[in-house]
Amino acid sequence: MTNAGRVRNILFALIQTAAAVYMIAEPADGYVFVAVILSFSLLLMGAKTIIYYFSMARHMVGGKRMLYMGVLLLDAGAFAVSLDSIPRAVVLLYLFISHAFSGVIDVLRVKEAKDSGYPFSKFTLATGIINLVSAALCIVFINSERTAVYIFCAGIIYSAITRIISSFRETRIIFIN
C-alpha cells in the first residue's frame, strides 16, 4: 500500500468513527442517516457497476450483463432516495443478512481449524459470536429504530478499526533477482 493510501485509509476510518459516535448519541437523526446511507449506497453501487462495465467488463464474454445490472441498481437507488421513509424492517433485514453471513463464516473458519487439529483464533470466534448475536438482535428488535442504529454503528466502528489496522500492516516483500 502506498503512504498516500495509508493516510487516506486512516482519515476515512476517523470519519467513519466520528459518524458512528454521532449516530449513537442522536439515534433519531441516526436512523434517517442509516436509511439515507443505504439508499445512496445503492446509487453508488449502480454508478460503480456502470464504470466497471466501461473500464473492464466490456472486454468480458457476456459482460453486457454488468451494464444492465448497473442501470437497474442506479434506478433502484434513485427510487430509494426519492422515498420519504424506508420501512424499519427493510433496514434491519439488510443488517441481519450481513451480520448472519459474517458470523457463520467466522464460526465455520474456527471449526475448520479445530477439525484439522490446529489452534484456532479466539478473536475470530469472538467476532463470529458477536456477529451472530447482532443478527439475532436485528430480528428480536425488528421494530426498533435504535437497534438498527446501534448495530449499524457497531459495524461501522468495526470496519474503521480493521481499516486502521490494515493501514499499519507491512505489505512489502523482498524480491530476489
Query: In the complex, which residues of this chain contact another protein (CB under 8 A)?
Result: 1, 5, 52, 55-57, 59-63, 65-66, 69, 105-106, 108-109, 112-113, 116-119, 124, 162-163, 166, 169-177
Cα–Cα distance for residue pair 93/135, rounded to 1 Å: 9
Distances (CA, A) of 108 to 94, 95, 120, 121, 166: 22, 20, 11, 12, 23
Looking at the Cβ atoms of 39 and 167, the one nearer to another protein is: 167
Rounded to a whole number of angstroms, the minimum distance from the CB of residue 76 to another protein is 15
Nearer to another protein, 141 or 158 (CB): 158
Q: How far is the CB of 73 from another protein (least distance, A)?
A: 11
Buried residues in 117-156 as b, exposed as e (16+ CB within 10 A): eeeeeeeebebbebbbebbebbeebeebbebbbbbbbbbb
66 versus 92: smaller Cβ distance to another protein: 66
Q: How many CB atoms lie within 10 A of CB 49?
A: 19
Nearer to another protein, 82 or 118 (CB): 118
Query: Which one, 26 or 112, has the nearer CB to another protein?
Result: 112
In the complex, the smallest distance separating the C-beta of residue 118 from another protein, rounded to whole angstroms, is 4
Min dist CB 124 to another protein, Å, is 7
Give min distance, CB of 7 to another protein, in A: 14
Residue 152 near residue 99, CB atoms below 8 Å: no
Provide the sign of the torsion angle of the four alpha carbons 81, 93, 20, 27, taken in this order.
positive
Least distance between another protein and beta carbon 144 (Å): 30
Q: What angle do CA 24, 99, 39 make, to 5 degrees?
A: 65
Nearer to another protein, 1 or 130 (CB): 1
